[in-house]
């Protein structure tokens, strides 16, 4: 497929994001009719828009952007089309940090401890990852260190669930791990958005390094790319962006895996060119999925993380089949 001109692609994604943002503010159990938008500000439905749906929409945009650009950056760095933010183990460590606060019932007593615990887990994951991989290691060693960290963090979460003191604690942990944008407030927006913005900004600066790495590490070094610096910035960027996302929404999978693959036929194989479109498309994907979740007829609202897993599982299978056919 011929690459789409960048202005056309950016314009289409931005228009889709604007349209979905308006729908996100309007859709739900109580629909906001169009005349409310041009009506008086004392309409009681404005409370629903400003206090419930606006924070949810903003978080959907930023969390989707964080996961999308993190997936594109990680796939570009590892040159592995199956990589996503969870591979580095930072997201599982963030989840483990949040689960600890739920296990000891700290989040109920002091609500801000849950996102704080998740961010502490994410930063601890970054430190452990960089320590395990070393400053002069290969990409393979870096990935293996992430896999080890992912395994340990997942084991910690499973242990906390197994030893949870009450069934209520287990239920809280499971509900949070499913991932959702529902019932989020302005406080979560204020907490997460600065970290996500800084993390995405760091990842955007890696465009040239990711492009150079497609030629191999030796060639990239000859072009002046510092592999160790790139790895550190990649880990910090993904840690900030995905750690803050997990801190306020729980675990939402497959966005980082799916988004770059949807765009690659339109953008091309150059990893640096995928970063900004993946951020926009990730926001579009999460907002669209969240709207579908709200409109799904069910007694209880389907969790966004579950919905993304339902959509991402078949996509992952099709991707593997396609890779096998191409290899054959």
Q: What's the pLDDT at 39?
A: 62
- In this model, does residue 1 exceed pLDDT 60? no
- In this model, does residue 136 exceed pLDDT 80? no
What pLDDT band is residue 287 in, cutting at 50, 70 and 90? very high
Domain 6-31+48-327: CATH superfamily, name plus number: ABC transporter involved in vitamin B12 uptake, BtuC (1.10.3470.10)
Taking the C-alpha atoms of residue 208 and residue 188, their distance in angstroms, rounded to an integer, is 33
What pLDDT band is residue 33 in, cutting at 50, 70 and 90? confident
The mean per-residue pLDDT over the stretch 22-51 comes to: 76
Q: Which residue has the higher pLDDT, 215 or 38?
A: 215
The mean per-residue pLDDT over the stretch 136-145 comes to: 74
CB distance 1 to 266 below 8 Å: yes
Residues written for the chain = 328
Q: What's the pLDDT at 137?
A: 61
CB distance 180 to 250 below 8 Å: yes
Lowest mean pLDDT among 1-5, 218-222, 312-316: 1-5
Q: What is the mean pLDDT of the chain?
A: 86
Taking the C-alpha atoms of residue 121 and residue 11, their distance in angstroms, rounded to an integer, is 37
Catalogue the E-assigned strands of 138-207.
none
Query: Residue 225, Cβ neighbours under 10 Å: how many?
Result: 19
- In this model, does residue 16 exceed pLDDT 90? yes
Which tokens hold the place of 55? 């924070």
Q: DSSP character for 89?
A: T
What pLDDT band is residue 316 in, cutting at 50, 70 and 90? confident
5-21: burial string, b at 16+ Cβ within 10 Å, e else: eeeebeebbeebbeebb
What is the domain partition of the chain in residue ranges? Answer: 6-31+48-327
Taking the C-alpha atoms of residue 120 and residue 244, their distance in angstroms, rounded to an integer, is 10
- In this model, does residue 194 exceed pLDDT 90? yes
The mean per-residue pLDDT over the stretch 210-236 comes to: 88
- In this model, does residue 78 exceed pLDDT 90? no
Q: Which residue has the higher pLDDT, 217 or 244?
A: 244
pTM for this model (two decimals)? 0.90
Q: What's the pLDDT at 41?
A: 60
Lowest mean pLDDT among 89-103, 138-152, 223-237: 138-152
Q: What's the pLDDT at 328?
A: 62
* Interval 153-190: pLDDT, tens: 999 999 999 988 888 888 888 888 888 998 888 989 99
Q: What's the pLDDT at 320?
A: 74
The mean per-residue pLDDT over the stretch 66-80 comes to: 89
Taking the C-alpha atoms of residue 183 and residue 56, their distance in angstroms, rounded to an integer, is 8
Q: What's the pLDDT at 27?
A: 82
- In this model, does residue 243 exceed pLDDT 60? yes
* Interval 256-281: pLDDT, tens: 888 998 898 888 878 999 999 999 99
Burial class (CB in 10 A: 0-12, 13-18, 19+), 315: middle
What pLDDT band is residue 9 in, cutting at 50, 70 and 90? very high
The mean per-residue pLDDT over the stretch 78-88 comes to: 78
- In this model, does residue 44 exceed pLDDT 80? no
The mean per-residue pLDDT over the stretch 282-309 comes to: 87
The mean per-residue pLDDT over the stretch 221-226 comes to: 89
């Amino acid at each position: 497929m011929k690459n789409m001109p960048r202005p056309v692609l950016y314009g289409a994604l931005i228009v889709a994001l604007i349209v979905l943002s308006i729908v996100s503010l309007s859709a739900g159990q109580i629909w906001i009719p169009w005349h409310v938008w041009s009506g008086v500000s004392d309409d009681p439905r404005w409370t629903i828009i400003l206090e419930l749906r606006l924070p949810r929409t903003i978080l959907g945009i930023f969390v989707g952007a964080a996961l999308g650009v993190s997936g594109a950056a990680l796939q570009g760095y590892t040159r592995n089309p199956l990589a996503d933010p969870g591979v580095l183990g930072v997201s599982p460590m963030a989840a483990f940090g949040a689960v600890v606060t739920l296990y000891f019932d700290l989040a109920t007593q002091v609500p801000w401890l849950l996102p704080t615990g998740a961010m502490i887990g994410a930063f601890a994951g970054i430190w452990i990852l960089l320590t395990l991989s070393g400053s002069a290691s290969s990409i393979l060693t870096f990935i293996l260190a992430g896999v080890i960290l992912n395994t340990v963090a997942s084991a910690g979460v499973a242990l906390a669930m197994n030893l949870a003191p009450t069934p209520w604690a287990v239920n809280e942990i499971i509900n949070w791990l499913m991932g959702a944008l529902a019932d989020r407030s302005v406080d979560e927006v204020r907490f997460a958005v600065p970290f996500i913005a800084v993390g995405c900004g760091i990842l955007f600066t890696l465009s040239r390094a990711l492009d150079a790495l497609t030629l191999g590490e030796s060639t990239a070094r000859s072009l002046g790319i510092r592999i160790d610096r790139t790895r550190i910035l990649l880990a910090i960027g993904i840690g900030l962006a995905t750690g803050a996302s997990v801190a306020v929404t729980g675990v939402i999978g497959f966005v980082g895996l799916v988004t770059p693959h949807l765009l690659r036929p339109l953008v091309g194989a150059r990893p640096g060119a995928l970063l900004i479109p993946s951020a926009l498309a990730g926001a579009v994907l999460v907002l669209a999925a969240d709207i579908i979740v709200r409109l799904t007829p069910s007694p209880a609202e389907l969790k966004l993380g579950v919905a993304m897993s339902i959509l991402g599982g078949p996509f992952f299978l099709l991707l593997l089949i396609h890779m096998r056919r191409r290899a054959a």
